[in-house]
Structure 1
Amino acid sequence: MWTDKQRGIRMSQQELMCKNSCGYYGNPAWKGFCSKCWRERARPAEAHRQDARVTGDGTPPTFSKFEEKKNMEKGRRINTMRRLFWGSPSPPKSEPSDSQINVLKAFRKLEPGDFTGFLKTLRSPSSQRLQSRCTAFLNTMEAYHDLPIQKHSDLVQDFYQSFADYFSSFSDAELTQTMEHVEKLIMTRLHKWVFCHDSCDDEQKDLTLQRRIRSLNWVTPQMLGVPFPEVQNAITGDPFLPAITAIIEMDAKRAPQDKLVCVSKCSQHVFEALSVSNSEPANADDFLSALVYVVLKANPPRLHSNMQYVIRFGLPHSLMAGESGYYFTNLSCAVAFIEKLDGPALNLSQEEFDGYMRRRQAPAAGGGRQDIACETHRLLDELTARQERLDRGVGDLNVQLRTWVQAVHTQIDQATSQLTMVQEELKDLSSSSPSSSYPDSTVSEQLVLTDQHAGPQDSDC
């Protein structure tokens, strides 16, 4: 039923790839390029701007001299920082040695995801050099925390590259595992220094995006072309609730890879919800539309800052390829779509869109909401009937209990009256006996006298 409707979001797999046709995923934050092509494209442009400082008459302007001096000072500070933990302006090339071979063997033995084991191996005496590099790098980054955020990003990426060169003999899987541990170690410590840095306007963009998403809370799944189940879960209601929870948890994580894990979980929950909602396999259009719906419903805190944090300080291979790169690229496209959302994208006229944005009118409840209301009423009726049956059962049980108590009390009264009669008879017999010094014989005589049907008894008395 959903295939016949026109969706507001259409994006092919090719449009998600890098514009440079390098085979990796692009990103709207990099203007459609991947991280590698974007850096290669941005650095020569920056160098060209620094060299183009001479005017037409050959006289360099005063502002250009100021910029040149400023850039030289920044470059000197960057080189100083690199020398502090590398000993030279550029990272040294690793040379195989016995100590390095032992270190590599120790890191190869680690299990995937064993971050505690990685820390123990890094603190071992054989890994003293690597530990010293990490400590020096962290201390230097904290000391120069007032540098621009882009410089911090370049230094962290250079540090990742240096570690990758040191473990160049590892396989791709082993290198990826080790670098993820390195990223988690470095960025967990630097999170408070580089997240929402003072040199960027991430905080203002977070507020702008949050207000934008809040103003679009009237958008329904039908407007976005999201397949919605006709019968929803009676407990959760919205099948996309797990995806909404996962994307909100992203702000609580510190390491970029942990934030990407939240994005991957959110995307996987979206695919699960789509598989329940639609009998046909979910395609890229359905996934992107559903992801837009999830972002609108979740309104994740500091979404722009979290995405920029992952872009600046995440491992390149996590953003350029694989599931995490695909999911993060779709999330970036979803945010870009929300920022530019208008009436035609939702199959609405501009007057209707403006009316919804200004709260002049509200969209009519779709068939999905009516189905939810009907299902809710059905559940309420069923619960009411069950409650009535339970009340009747409790009433019958109370009646049976009272009857049983009365019967017990009646039996107790009868037994008590019989006991009283027996005691009185025994008392009368004991008072009428001539001899009271032989209680045993008296009792025996009483028993003999009371038994009228018994025959003659032999007595030794």
Structure 2
Amino acid sequence: MRFRPSYKSRRGRVGVSLNGGSFILPRSLKGRFSKVSGMFSSLMTPEKRAVKRVTELSRNKSTYFGCLVQDYISFVQENRSCHTSGMDFLQTVRQFMTQTKAYLRQTSELDPPIESLIPEDQIDRVLEKAMHKCVLKPLKSVIEAILHDFQESSGAWRQLRENLALAKTKRPQEMGVDGAVPPDAVAIEKIRQKFVSMRKVYSPEKKVSLLLRVCKLIYTIMQDNSGRMFGADDFLPMLTYVVAQCDVPQLDAEIQYMMELLDPTLLQGEGGYYLTSAYGAMALIKNFQEEQAARVLSSEVRNTLHQWHRRRTTPRSAPSVDDFQVSHLS
């Protein structure tokens, strides 16, 4: 006869199944686990606590901010064909994140207020990270699908794959490389893996960080193999050659993602330089022809880059709370 504890004796314990058996955890320990969880939370850096608080608020539909974020996510998921281009779509996402950041700086829904956790000069950077987590993370797969749909429908995807295949057969000199020794097969594979890793992250800042590592690696290889310094005019052809050898057509959408969603304040330094270099390399491949490899950016591409940089870096007045109407979601 199997012994069965009385209800009274079982009431103070919690049963947990382990591989078909049963482990009984006294309820008195349950409170201790809660305390430990609270202790770990208190050990978080102020930045992580702020990001966590914003993320939690974004999921709470009993708050205005939570409704705003969740309604926007639903709107994007359910209305994938209401934009004219991938760039147009990404610009609306960037605008939404910028507006919600402005709202968070003015709202009383954040408790404690973010200025009590983060120094004033770091608030915008921390809120940007929070936007990545509560907006870009849940929309990552949707954004990728929308960008790819635009590439497919325009024929750009097929053309890009064909041009990459053609460019991959060319020697460095045919791609405009002059005097620099290119990365070997091992280094090319290492770079390709970084491009693949870039697709796994949702934060445009982290994507740019991976791009920086790739570009610096290429620069280092160029200098180590040749024993001299190289300038921007030498780097672009080499980057174009490396991108062609890596043969990752999805990199085109990744570059577009970074260019439109990255915080404008990060476009002024190395991030902006290498991002425009990557855009230029991809533009050269898109316009690659059998007869003559494009070695310099066309005036059209240069004008596009100038317009993009001016549009993304020109300061604009921050929206106020009054601007937050969900009419654009209806």
Contact 1:267–1:291 under 8 Å retained in 2: yes
Cα distance change, pair 257–278 in 1 and its aligned pair in 2 (3 A): same
3-state SS, counterpart of residue 201 of structure 1: helix
1:215 equivalent in structure 2: 166
The 3 A distance-change label for structure 1 pair 109 and 228 is same
**1:284 corresponds to:** 232
Letter in 1 for 2:90: S
The Cα of 1:298 is off from its aligned counterpart by 0.4
Distance 1:190 1:263 in 2: 22
Q: Give the 3 Å change call, closer, same or farther, for CA 158–222 of structure 1 in structure 2.
A: closer
Q: Deviation digits for residues 342-380 of structure 1, max 9, x if unmatched?
A: 555589xxxxxxxxxxxxxxxxxxxxxxxxxxxxxxxxx
C-alpha deviation, 1:296, in angstroms:
0.9
Q: Name the count of aligned residue pairs.
A: 232
Identify which of 73, 78, 81 aligns with 1:138. Answer: 73
Q: Which residue of 2 aligns with 1:190?
A: 139
Residue in structure 2 matched with residue 119 of structure 1 by the alignment: 52
5+ residue gaps, structure 2, are 1-41, 107-114, 296-330
- How far did residue 209 of structure 1 move? 0.7
TM-score (ref. length: structure 2): 0.58
Partners of 1:237 and 1:327 in 2: CA distance:
22
Shift of 1:264: 1.8
The CA RMSD measured in Å over matched residues stands at 3.6
Match of 1:162 in 2: 99
Structure 2 CA distance for aligned equivalents of residues 157 and 198 of structure 1: 15
The amino acid of 2:274's aligned partner reads Y
Which structure has the bigger radius of gyration? 1
Structure 2 residue aligned with 1:294: 242
CA separation in 2, counterparts of 1:248 and 1:124?
A: 32
How many Å apart are 1:121 and its aligned residue? 5.2
The offset of 1:146, in angstroms, is: 3.6
Taking a change above 3 Å as real, the CA distance of residues 217 and 121 of structure 1, as seen in their structure-2 partners, is closer
Equivalent in the alignment of 2:280: 333
User: Aligned residue for 1:307?
Assistant: 255
**Secondary structure at 1:254's aligned position in 2?**
coil
Distance in 2 between the 1:175 and 1:164 partners?
8
Counterparts of 1:239 and 1:305 in 2: how far apart (Å)? 23
For residue 214 of structure 1, report the CA deviation from its aligned partner. 0.5
Q: CA deviation at 1:305?
A: 2.6
Aligned-partner Cα distance in 2 for 1:216–1:152: 30
Structure 1 CA distance for aligned equivalents of residues 277 and 131 of structure 2: 26
Q: How far apart, in 1, do the equivalents of 2:90 and 2:135 lie?
A: 12
Find the counterpart in structure 2 of residue 153 from structure 1. Answer: 90
The one-letter code matched in structure 2 to 1:194 is I
Partners of 1:171 and 1:205 in 2: how far apart? 44
* Structure 1 residue 279 displacement after superposition: 1.6
Which residue identity lines up with residue 157 of structure 1 in the other structure?
R
2:142 alignment partner, SS class = helix
Matches within 5 A, 1:414-433: none
Please list every run of 5 or more consecutive structure 1 residues that lacks an aligned counterpart in the other structure. 1-105, 348-461
**Cα offsets for 1:314-352 (capped at 9, x unmatched):** 43334x3222221110011111122333555589xxxxx
Q: Does 1:249 align with 2:197?
A: yes
Residues in 1 aligned to 2:79 and 2:187: alpha-carbon distance in whole angstroms: 47
In structure 2, distance between residues paired with 1:199 and 1:237:
29
User: Which of 110, 117, 129 is the matching residue for 2:46?
Assistant: 110
Distance 2:142 2:225 in 1: 43
User: CA–CA distance in 1 between the matches of 2:67 and 2:45?
Assistant: 22
**Is the counterpart of residue 175 in structure 1 residue 127 in structure 2?**
no
Q: Where do 1:24-423 residues align within 5 Å?
A: 110-111=46-47, 114=48, 118-120=51-53, 122-123=55-56, 129-148=64-83, 152-165=89-102, 166-167=104-105, 171-197=120-146, 201-203=150-152, 204-223=155-174, 224-225=176-177, 227-229=179-181, 238-318=186-266, 320-342=267-289, 343=291, 345=293
Structure 2 counterpart of 1:280, which letter?
R
